[in-house]
Structure 1
């Protein structure tokens, strides 16, 4: 017996994301068979590895040899799924005869120096070591010894590879004597981020042997002095100096890098983006770098004030504005840049009309915001601001390309799981996206799952953050519960249980969390109900009840706790047992004593006790004078129509059906209670609307067979007559499919049932026949 679904009052319907938008970002693409295979292998290493090695030094089975493509995919899949256990996994690559690696990305893993050595021995061409706290300075020698094959190297952000103690004010003599730090003469791409405490001499030594570099990223690195560290890098085609301070000192060196095609000198900090002569510096850069196709000056004043200014060089002679609102770009009017970053430039440069560039990152319109978001996906400071812009597009319902926006939000949240503001802005935007979508989005399983997974990831990290939890719960409410969330059922339940007891009392998060739990409990199958009990739903609900009783507070949360337990105990004896073991009956009596006039609370409690009474092995726990007296008294209740009286009669019927020998209570007596129950049943209106759901009539049909106790039989047959009469479409098929018609005929023909029971049986049979005839007519 289930409590009726209650979330329908709070769930909002939504519009769909156009299918063509999902096609833009691949969100709707199903998982490939290859993805599924690699996921299975990394979760079941015995497929590849010697079983004896699984708990020690991992080794491939003797007959297995893997090509480079499979080795790399295995490593990257494992690193993404279990980044904290990567050191154990990389041991399979010790055998270089059976395995091969070229491109290794270990971002955000717990790789150690020893694990890194195993991988470096493969003569890698690409190595990404960002966000690896366990890699120490000792690894420099290992990287350097194997670096001759390296073409791409990414280091930085959360790392201890270059500690300030060794490379700060007084760089160790060892490196000065040999005039390099890492000897990688063939390196083409170097990314070195967030090394703000290191001095110019470090960069000079690091870059000294890397004369073949084509791409250099020094984002958020310390001041580079006069930038002479890169003067010899004549092959550079891409230079990223995002959030590097005092770039003005290095402009002349930058101007000598004639092969530059991409230059990024953007800033997220106002103080670093101010130039004494912004227009003059931009003009000099544009004049000196003829191959430039992409330029990012976001967060600076290099775009000028937007008013007419005098030409800054002899090649810009003409009208004062030279055909553009950005004076420094005058000579590119007839040769526009492919991309320019103008996000948060001074004097609102992105709002100007004549900008000589094909793509503009800014905040003037939806297109500029999208371009900015894609350009800054790896930059938390900038991305946070862009996501706020994106949020406002949805808040005011002005976003036209929902699919692109969805892709951006999910990518941002997945790339920056520990950036609170990104998770907050992203989850708020997801709410508006999902709320404003609907049927078409909900038809794409991969889209739904990626949204839900991203939300749960964020809620796990920020489970104590009221805003994040609120955003997540509200967004989850827009999905079909439980169908859309069952793939990650256990994690969702754990998060919701935390929202119920881990958040502030009477908070919105607590309320919506318990309603989501109730919605889950109402609709999941028996196995999942058991899992709900194992995860502690019953105990959490009893804890909330205890708190409300202590404070004398009867609110919607108290009512919902009993409703949730009503649903989670439905046809689930294990959970009914947990309720009794947690002193649930004592809480029932206390709630009844403190809040006797709360109709919904009383109905929910009696509904739950009806589930307990259906379990024969537990009924003896209800055989207590206090409990029986309460059940008998509630037979006369008028609360919530007939619901409380009906449920009380159901509990008594199950107890009494075990026979006189099982009735161990002297007062009230079995005869007295059964007489009172029949008196109550005779008063009920057979056309009463009901606030209850049955998925099966098996417990009721069992009582209908108790010929030796016709009072119990009368309650059961009355229930069938009422439900098939008021809700024939819902319940007539249940009666017929579970053998009820044959049983009802048997009741009519049997000599023991009283006349009223037989009349009710006739009514049920007629209800079912009428329904069947109507269905046949409609089918015909």
Structure 2
């Protein structure tokens, strides 16, 4: 619907044709309000559109039929005078009902680049019509129909073979791109989902387009399950998607899963430290942005639980420790609990004395760690979770009177005596408990 400055409705989708024509005339005469000029000189509709898809289609049809793109100052172009020399057209999202005739492709003999991709994935068959029109756009070098339906390998192959100068075809989120001819391995670059080359090309070209980034990352995740060699080139593309769409849950969810696949175990040692640091910081941002999404938090914890990352990579360890502790306090997943306390115990040993004291001063952190120790002691279980938790408490109480006070006021001394009594033959447990009690007893006078 269109509205004037006072909010009065100017056009309804059921408006009579005469009123629609008046509105289209008004819009086409003030196109600078709805379009922007790209760096390459082409025009692009601003998003979000302020009028219905059907009206957008009619507007483009009217402008092409009458030959006037705009009489305003934003462009000197008119289709009638320039259509034979136009080289670039971007018409993303705006072709739900357009036919080949409505944008005069048959008369754009010099057109080299046509982008009718649609990451909203409407059901228009405009791409099929274009591909099946004989002799159309003979000089075309690149064609992007990503997101369009009814696109087949056979139609794309025939179209490209008839134009030997073509160097790019966009086929992500279509039904095409699975033939050897369209693999993207040679001089013809292809965005798609059939193989790693196509997916990486999509992440490069569509890094600003949320829907396509999500689609590409989803398929990348499946491909990286069994990856055997470090791939910093792919990790950079994943990081770019995370950076460009920090508030989009589906992008962050898919990206964090890909990060784990690309950095797990020994793979992390083949990734440059600086890149790992950037990616780790992006994971922390995702944890902050979506604190209540359990799967995303798990993905991030899985990636953080890496010796290379925790020991060597530069990132905000204090922030990471707080985020992991917050997760630990809100979840009882035993497998993830083990990883979380492992991360905290290592991070706590890496913090400065001031940061350790600041972290330990948070009462909820000490309470949660003591809760885990109490739980394991009552169950009579000695496992990695208990050992990591004891190490974390030892590190947090070191030279921190406030943390020691929290420890004592929450029955930490009594609990640790019970631990000594419960596991008399476990030397590693005895060492950690006695180490905390003896080394940190000076933190508070009452602990002597």
Shift of 1:464: 2.6
Distance between the aligned counterparts of 1:357 and 1:248, measured in 2? 31
Q: Sort the Cα spacing of 1:466 and 1:598 in 2 relative to 1 into closer, same or farther, 3 A.
A: farther
Distance between the aligned counterparts of 2:429 and 2:388, measured in 1? 8
Q: Sort the Cα spacing of 1:254 and 1:399 in 2 relative to 1 into closer, same or farther, 3 A.
A: farther
Aligned to 1:539: 367
SS at match of 1:288: coil
Q: Sort the Cα spacing of 1:571 and 1:561 in 2 relative to 1 into closer, same or farther, 3 A.
A: same
Aligned to 1:195: 49
Pick the structure with greater CA Rg: 1
**1:608 aligned onto 2:439:** no
SS at match of 2:341: helix
- CA contact under 8 A between 1:469 and 1:509: conserved in structure 2? no
RMSD, aligned CA: 4.3
Q: Sort the Cα spacing of 1:422 and 1:231 in 2 relative to 1 into closer, same or farther, 3 A.
A: farther
Distance between the aligned counterparts of 2:220 and 2:26, measured in 1? 48
Shift of 1:376: 2.2
**1:331 aligned onto 2:162:** yes
**1:282 aligned onto 2:131:** yes
Q: Sort the Cα spacing of 1:338 and 1:570 in 2 relative to 1 into closer, same or farther, 3 A.
A: same
SS at match of 1:383: helix
Aligned to 2:113: 262
Q: Sort the Cα spacing of 1:566 and 1:364 in 2 relative to 1 into closer, same or farther, 3 A.
A: same
Paired residues for 1:82-481 under 5 Å: 169=13, 176=23, 179-180=26-27, 182=30, 184=32, 188-189=37-38, 190-195=44-49, 198=52, 200-201=54-55, 204=59, 208-210=70-72, 213=75, 234=83, 237-244=87-94, 246-249=96-99, 251-255=101-105, 258=108, 260-267=111-118, 272=123, 274=125, 278=128, 281-284=130-133, 287-300=135-148, 303-304=151-152, 306=154, 326-332=157-163, 335-346=164-175, 348-353=176-181, 358-397=188-227, 402-435=231-264, 436-439=266-269, 441-442=271-272, 444=273, 446-480=274-308
- CA contact under 8 A between 2:114 and 2:143: conserved in structure 1? yes
SS at match of 1:382: helix
Aligned to 2:41: none
Shift of 1:514: 0.8
Distance between the aligned counterparts of 2:260 and 2:147, measured in 1? 29
Q: Sort the Cα spacing of 1:509 and 1:598 in 2 relative to 1 into closer, same or farther, 3 A.
A: farther
Q: Sort the Cα spacing of 1:184 and 1:298 in 2 relative to 1 into closer, same or farther, 3 A.
A: closer
Q: Which segments of 5 or more consecutive residues in structure 1 lack a partner in the other structure?
A: 1-136, 142-161, 216-228, 308-324, 623-780
- CA contact under 8 A between 1:464 and 1:502: conserved in structure 2? no
SS at match of 1:578: helix
Shift of 1:412: 0.8
Distance between the aligned counterparts of 1:330 and 1:394, measured in 2? 32
CA deviation vs aligned residue, 1:272-303 (integer Å, no higher than 9, x gap) = 1546x93x53143x733344221012344565
Distance between the aligned counterparts of 2:245 and 2:81, measured in 1? 35
Aligned to 1:658: none
Distance between the aligned counterparts of 1:353 and 1:242, measured in 2? 26
Distance between the aligned counterparts of 2:50 and 2:32, measured in 1? 23
- CA contact under 8 A between 1:167 and 1:198: conserved in structure 2? no
CA deviation vs aligned residue, 1:662-699 (integer Å, no higher than 9, x gap) = xxxxxxxxxxxxxxxxxxxxxxxxxxxxxxxxxxxxxx
Q: Sort the Cα spacing of 1:574 and 1:303 in 2 relative to 1 into closer, same or farther, 3 A.
A: closer
Shift of 1:467: 2.5
Q: Which segments of 5 or more consecutive residues in structure 2 lack a partner in the other structure?
A: 39-43, 64-68
CA deviation vs aligned residue, 1:616-644 (integer Å, no higher than 9, x gap) = x734434xxxxxxxxxxxxxxxxxxxxxx
- CA contact under 8 A between 2:360 and 2:396: conserved in structure 1? yes
Give me the TM-score of the superposition, normalised by structure 2. 0.76
- CA contact under 8 A between 1:187 and 1:210: conserved in structure 2? no
Q: Sort the Cα spacing of 1:328 and 1:612 in 2 relative to 1 into closer, same or farther, 3 A.
A: closer
- CA contact under 8 A between 1:576 and 1:611: conserved in structure 2? no
Distance between the aligned counterparts of 2:350 and 2:148, measured in 1? 55
**1:496 aligned onto 2:329:** no
**1:513 aligned onto 2:362:** no
Give me the TM-score of the superposition, normalised by structure 1. 0.46
Distance between the aligned counterparts of 2:136 and 2:76, measured in 1? 18
Q: Sort the Cα spacing of 1:268 and 1:438 in 2 relative to 1 into closer, same or farther, 3 A.
A: closer
Q: Sort the Cα spacing of 1:265 and 1:604 in 2 relative to 1 into closer, same or farther, 3 A.
A: same
Q: Sort the Cα spacing of 1:607 and 1:306 in 2 relative to 1 into closer, same or farther, 3 A.
A: same
Aligned to 2:66: none
CA deviation vs aligned residue, 1:296-332 (integer Å, no higher than 9, x gap) = 123445654639xxxxxxxxxxxxxxxxx72334431
SS at match of 2:302: helix
Shift of 1:518: 0.7
Aligned to 1:37: none
Shift of 1:434: 2.4
- CA contact under 8 A between 2:191 and 2:199: conserved in structure 1? yes
Distance between the aligned counterparts of 1:541 and 1:486, measured in 2? 26
- CA contact under 8 A between 1:212 and 1:233: conserved in structure 2? no
CA deviation vs aligned residue, 1:708-741 (integer Å, no higher than 9, x gap) = xxxxxxxxxxxxxxxxxxxxxxxxxxxxxxxxxx
CA deviation vs aligned residue, 1:593-624 (integer Å, no higher than 9, x gap) = 7x4567355543332211233x1x734434xx
Aligned to 1:20: none
Distance between the aligned counterparts of 2:52 and 2:122, measured in 1? 20
